[in-house]
Structure 1
């Protein structure tokens, strides 16, 4: 049993050094505040929102102060897609300052309509489908015209989005509308290949961002980090389906200190939510390995004889494909519970991979003398149980609350221990001193009423379950147009114990030093070097829990320019509770011809110890 606990606490994160604030001298205080105000943005915690800012001007380019600006969820998105989004239900009203400037903080990613109220001889201006992305300041210059006419601009059809001049991070965002239109797989990681500088790593199973390894990234879902703390990669439990995703963002450089564990990229995912209209989807996708390319040939080498009679034979073999069908059903629904106040989104989108492999067991010999000894069919059904629910509430106009729950266990039924071709694993009947002779591999004697089980009779009982769940709760309170408070709690649970069904019982026997085929009588009466039975190693539990608490406040003010001051508190904790290996059942190792002290014992016992 082992236990690991890591606790990380951070507070008052700013863009400039604050150590001078400790001085009591008033001049030092003014100097320190000047350092704090030198940059206009600060960041604390994992990002799930963006900002919207701009300037209201008249047709001649003069700024227009004291104009009421309302930012509300877009009523119609011109992309032609059917995706739902989390922006419906968002509404915030602010007033431009004396320079005609406005800024709206903590805006969920999505499309919005920005409307100015007719005032001071100027008509209403309506800018539709303004896109806000994770961690970006969307900049929008609004032009109001004299008179009573309404000016309407559809920003979604403009040639190019405005450049965020306040952010030095290199990042790419892919929203739900783009995800629906591009070729992709069944989970959000399949769209990462469309991001410049990002490619899959076939060997490690991760993603390389700008040349970094797959173990150097950070993955975040709704503000909760889900990176495997041990491997640095993303578990399959968190490769959530694209049906859940509102936006994916990849930061490749220039990201803030809160992502200090990332030396590669930061991949952030924000999930979908409901709106004032009901939207749903029911569908099914299929995939079959029969339509995939053939496996690559394997190069085999067979050795025989020694000295002058030594012969080496090489051969390329083409393994047949495994059979099976993969199915990807989905059902999701989003809409209002209380119109304009409470919304929901729910989805159940499991991914079911069914594989059937027929293994031909051959003798370990070149083609000329090779014989087919046995044939067995093995099956594996792996199910990713992705279920997701989200609630968005606006109890009153200044408060927005969000809660999400992700349930995503992985369930294995069966096991495939071999490929379609195997050479030498089957032990023919009549082989002396081998209790597994004549039985299909793998073979395990469970004793009792079960007895000896081999081949597919054993593997169909094997499998495992890897439980996982994530919950997040967050809120944003807009006290005034210049002051915003936000807080978040999240908890992630993962128990990595696939492959723990029908593990061999009892004590494992292992002959570390014993007789070998080259010298079968080196230790008369001794064991054959190697395992004397199947491994009994199992994972009883491997539980990792992440909890995160954070709160912050943001204040916008003008003092020789426009400034944003942000400070807060974050507490992040990881715990890991493990029970695995031989500890629950035991293992006996034989070492013939080896003294007990050279085997590691501190002293030679004078009597039996067990």
Structure 2
């Protein structure tokens, strides 16, 4: 029995060594009074506005508090301490793989008195030195994407360059490229914290499981100075988070159509001996895999 337990421990250790970046984030900060002295033992509560799921913690001897492994979303933060007014801030947006810092300065009073802040905290990362960009659901759904393919959002990031190759298969996302000069296979793509890398083709913008813009809530690309929790590759760290359930029923119906009626027959199209609007690559139109199909439709609930 002990031998089996030891073998399991070794297996779990090897698995942890190759763990991928998680689809979570973090919130930390300090609780102080009007003289900037630390408030010890303040209760800090974090509540997801959409699901009403909450967590609580207390500030330490230096006034520090932290929430780790937090799901991305819109939150409300409340701070309570004896001898101080209750502080409440709503509209705090936490992005995937983008730790946030939120400091609170308490005012003397009773807990029955409430200081309410409704403005959203600035989306600046003052927690670490990671460089990247986060796109929310609104940007993902409204940016023009050929074939409604999320992975093409990578082409909008600084430091990303295409090498002119397109390695295609019917079930894979398109485009091969390099990030910050690294080879195209030196990038890490995760979907809800699970590896979505195409180990067979090994190109930058190839994901094993294609996703549509209407199913993704956040798209985060970190191009440099990423933490050890992401690791694995020297190129970009791409994290996609699908939409989760809330207290309200929601969904989307979508249709995508592409044809050559409004497209110019430019030099590159002519050079490829193609007609105006004719794609350089083809996919089966009924797969909904995100290629240059003439018509795609579907729904997300």
- TM-score of the superposition, structure 2-length normalised? 0.75
Tell me, which stretches of 5 or more residues in structure 1 are unaligned? 1-6, 14-42, 76-87, 300-315, 330-347, 356-380, 390-610
Q: Residues 3-43 of structure 1, C-alpha deviation per residue, up to 9 Å, x if partnerless?
A: xxxx9963777xxxxxxxxxxxxxxxxxxxxxxxxxxxxx9
CA RMSD of aligned residues (A): 3.8
- Residue from 105, 113, 134 that aligns with 1:149: 113
Q: Distance in 1 between matches of 2:268 and 2:218?
A: 40
- What is the CA–CA distance in structure 1 between the aligned matches of 2:275 and 2:62, rounded to whole Å? 72
1:298 deviation in Å?
8.8
Q: Is the 8 A contact 1:295 1:318 kept in 2?
A: no
Q: How does 1:445-464 map to 2 (within 5 A)?
A: none
Structure 2 match to 1:340:
none
Q: Does 1:224 align with 2:189?
A: no
* TM-superposed deviation, 1:170: 2.5
Q: How far has the Cα of 1:280 moved from its partner?
A: 2.2
1:305-320 to 2 correspondences below 5 Å: 320=275
> Aligned equivalents of 2:219 and 2:97: distance in 1?
11
Deviations 1:254-285 (A, max 9, x none): 33556555232121111110111112222323
Runs of 4+ with deviation above 6 angstroms = 326-329, 385-389
Give the equivalent residue in structure 2 for 1:170.
131
Secondary structure of 1:190 counterpart: helix
RCO comparison, higher one (Cα < 8 Å, 6+): 2
1:74 pairs with one of 49, 63, 74: 49
The superposition leaves residues 401-421 of structure 1 with CA deviations (integer Å, 9 ceiling, x where unpaired) of xxxxxxxxxxxxxxxxxxxxx
Q: Partner of 1:92: helix, strand, or coil?
A: strand
Query: Deviation digits for residues 194-231 of structure 1, max 9, x if unmatched?
Result: 32222444324223211223232221112222222132
Secondary structure of the corresponding residue to residue 223 of structure 2: strand
Q: Count residues with an aligned counterpart.
A: 276
Any conservation in 1 of the 2:188–2:197 contact (CA below 8 Å)?
A: yes
Larger relative strand fraction: 1
2:242 matched residue in structure 1:
271
Q: Deviations over 1:355-374 (max 9, x none)?
A: 6xxxxxxxxxxxxxxxxxxx
Which residue of structure 2 aligns with residue 62 of structure 1? 37
Describe the SS at the equivalent of 2:152.
Answer: helix
Cα contact 2:31–2:103 (8 A) shared by 1: yes
Aligned partner (choices 73, 97, 106) of residue 110 of structure 1: 73
Residues 28-65 of structure 1 deviation map (CA, whole Å, 9 limit, x = unaligned): xxxxxxxxxxxxxxx95322111111111223322222
Q: Structure 1 residue 196 and structure 2 residue 162: aligned?
A: no
Asked if structure 1 preserves the Cα contact closer than 8 Å seen for 2:215 and 2:242, the reply is yes
What whole-Å deviation, never above 9, does each CA across 1:325-360 have from its counterpart, x for those lacking one?
A: x9999xxxxxxxxxxxxxxxxxx97658556xxxxx
1:101-134 C-alpha deviation (Å, 9 max, x unpaired): 21111101122110123x4221211111222222
- SS of the residue corresponding to residue 64 of structure 1 reads coil
Q: 1:67 to 1:237 in 2, by over 3 A?
A: same
CA distance in 2 between counterparts of 1:287 and 1:298 reads 16
Q: Secondary structure at the match of 1:238?
A: coil
In structure 1, the partner of 2:59 is: 96
Q: Distance in 2 between matches of 1:187 and 1:318?
A: 25
* TM-score scaled by length of structure 1: 0.40
